[in-house]
A = this chain, B = another copy of it.
Amino acid sequence: MSSTFHGQLTVSIFGQSHGSAIGVTIDGLPPGEAVDLEALQDFLNRRAPGGNAWSTSRKEEDAPEILSGLLEGYTCGAPLTAIIRNKNTRSGDYANLKDLPRPGHADYTAQIKYGGFQDSAGGGHFSGRLTAPLCIAGGICMQVLARRGITIGAHIAAIGGIPDEPFDPVHLTREDLLAPGYKPFPVRSDAQGEAMQARIAQVKAEGDSVGGLIQCAVLGLPPGLGDPMLDGLENRIARLVFAIPAVKGIEFGAGFAAAGMRGSENNDPFCLEDGQVRTATNHAGGILGGISNGMPLLFQAAVKPTPSIAQRQRSVSLSRREEAGLEIQGRHDPCIVPRAVPCVEAAAALAVCDAFLEQEVRRVL
């Protein structure tokens, strides 16, 4: 337990930020699935930091090497393992994190849990860098799902309180869903996106960081996927989305807003559209009783501001048992929300692919 998801798919993620390599093993993919490595690389590039305003300038070349499970471009039924070599393996500038933990990071809790044996360089196994293998696994699942007519997309729903336009919960089209992902700054409204980028620039200039919201949708899901109680789509997606280090909240459909609504408002009336059963509204986010109802699946994740900031902060020296000031050296990423967008898509893809595979078992018998 810890870094393994165990369902129809077993997904095992490994590596530390500054170790030799990070990677992932996916066991349970059906054989004969084409994996387009170029498309996968494009997807991974969406989470890689670039030379732009809202990310660190550390250049990660996240080119995965497939060690197993793929033969001449097709899954072969054996576990698929992919790794990414770490270029940045020096750990000098992280030496004191075991003594003087950074606020908002896992330095302190890792120190307690692993008794000083943890790899603290760059956050070790807790680093946001570990979302790269998550994206490899999710990116492959997205290709598997796409061939079955299921599309996943996300956009920045807000940064520092500046909102983007939300997806239309009822009439969302595939084009609308995919559009943000093609942009360097994945928003729906470019005007709002510019305001967000201005906010990021300002925050960066102040040596600070800022959080945001990500909205994700799944289109083309047949009704009947997911299970009641512990393996509903909400349970599975939540479990995987919280694997992204900075996520602190998740809501499906109307979510927290539903808490203030009445049943007569929140209930989605059933209706017929071209002979298909649909709902007139979609406060349920496409999920009833943990199971897809054929409407767009919609959820939103809250991403906290990056804890690494340039400003001086208060901490405690664990060895000296005294309070002490802390300044984190190096360049900081003032906002990871844009890069977290594909990570949220990847987490959703893994959860949906898992539920899809399980549903198939039950159906065929």
Chain B residue nearest to A12 in the complex (CB): B12
Chain B residue nearest to A255 in the complex (CB): B249
State how many angstroms separate the Cβ of A73 from the closest Cβ of chain B.
Answer: 10
Q: How far is the CA of A205 from the CA of B34 in the complex (A)?
A: 45
The answer on a CB contact under 8 Å between A249 and B248 is no
The answer on a CB contact under 8 Å between A68 and B2 is no
The answer on a CB contact under 8 Å between B269 and A313 is yes
In residues 109-140 of chain A, which contact B (Cβ within 8 Å)?
Answer: 109-110, 112-119, 124-126, 130
**Does A50 reach chain B (CB closer than 8 Å)?**
no
Q: How far is the CA of A262 from the CA of B357 in the complex (A)?
A: 40
How big is the A interface, by class? Answer: 35 or more
Contacts of A3 in B (CB 8 A): 27, 78-79, 227-231
The answer on a CB contact under 8 Å between B117 and A74 is yes
Contacts of A64 in B (CB 8 A): none
Give the one of A16, A109, A247, A269 with max B CB within 10 A.
A109
Contacts of A189 in B (CB 8 A): none
Q: How far is the CA of A8 from the CA of B2 in the complex (A)?
A: 11
Q: How far is the CA of A306 from the CA of B79 in the complex (A)?
A: 25
A229-252 near B? 1/0 per residue, CB < 8 Å: 111101100111011010111111
Count copies of this chain in the complex.
4
- Contact for A71 among B4, B119, B277, B315, CB less than 8 A: B119
State how many angstroms separate the Cβ of A165 from the closest Cβ of chain B.
Answer: 17
Q: How far is the CA of A321 from the CA of B314 in the complex (A)?
A: 60
- Contact for A238 among B213, B242, B277, CB less than 8 A: B242
The answer on a CB contact under 8 Å between A158 and B259 is yes
Query: Taking A104-B266, A235-B239, A357-B361 as contacts, is the C-beta distance between A227 and B1 under 8 angstroms?
Result: yes
State how many angstroms separate the Cβ of A62 from the closest Cβ of chain B.
Answer: 15
Contacts of A291 in B (CB 8 A): 106, 109-110, 112-113
State how many angstroms separate the Cβ of A319 from the closest Cβ of chain B.
Answer: 12
State how many angstroms separate the Cβ of A185 from the closest Cβ of chain B.
Answer: 17
9 nearest interchain CB pairs? Answer: A106-B289, A249-B251, A78-B125, A209-B263, A269-B314, A109-B291, A2-B227, A249-B255, A103-B267
11 contacts between A and B (CB under 8 A): A4-B4, A10-B12, A19-B67, A19-B68, A30-B362, A78-B228, A104-B268, A126-B289, A210-B261, A235-B243, A357-B361
